[in-house]
């Protein structure tokens, strides 16, 4: 097995498998707060880079819920508690291939 420390984030994320629930996203963001959020810490605290700058509006972020690793940081990291994060429905979400 290759040295885990030498892998890129993309390579590491490839080691997981996902069952995204497109009809019922388990992450919802109240963007009214994002407009007021200068530092946008979600762009940094998420290990899977689920949150990215919105290319169409610098005041907002995009949310790729299908890439969520379910670490739970969303529940604590947003200074405005603008993120409604729920566990995905049974059988959906991330499935770790190793471990």
Q: Which residues bind ligand SF4 (CB under 6 A)?
A: 27, 29, 33-34, 37, 40-42, 45-48, 50-51, 61, 68-74, 78, 80, 82-83, 85
Minimum CB separation of residue 39 from ligand SF4 in Å reads: 7
Minimum CB separation of residue 88 from ligand SF4 in Å reads: 10
Taking the least distance from each CB to ligand SF4, the nearer of 1 and 17 is: 17
In the chain, the N- to C-terminal Cα span, in Å, equals: 14
Closest by alpha carbon to 65, among 39, 81, 84, 38?
Answer: 84
Minimum CB separation of residue 63 from ligand SF4 in Å reads: 8
Taking the least distance from each CB to ligand SF4, the nearer of 7 and 47 is: 47
Q: Are 74 and 83 in contact (CB under 8 A)?
A: yes
Minimum CB separation of residue 8 from ligand SF4 in Å reads: 17
63: helix, coil or strand?
strand
23: helix, coil or strand?
coil
How many residues belong to the chain? 99
């Amino acid at each position: 097995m290759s040295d885990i420390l030498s892998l890129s984030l993309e390579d590491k994320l490839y080691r997981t498998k996902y069952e995204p629930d497109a009809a019922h996203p388990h992450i919802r963001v109240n963007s009214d707060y994002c407009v007021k959020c200068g530092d946008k810490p979600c762009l940094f605290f998420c290990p899977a880079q689920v949150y990215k700058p919105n290319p169409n509006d610098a005041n907002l972020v995009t949310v790729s819920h299908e890439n969520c690793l379910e670490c739970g940081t969303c529940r604590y990291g947003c200074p405005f508690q603008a993120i409604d994060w729920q566990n995905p429905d049974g059988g959906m979400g991330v499935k770790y291939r190793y471990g």
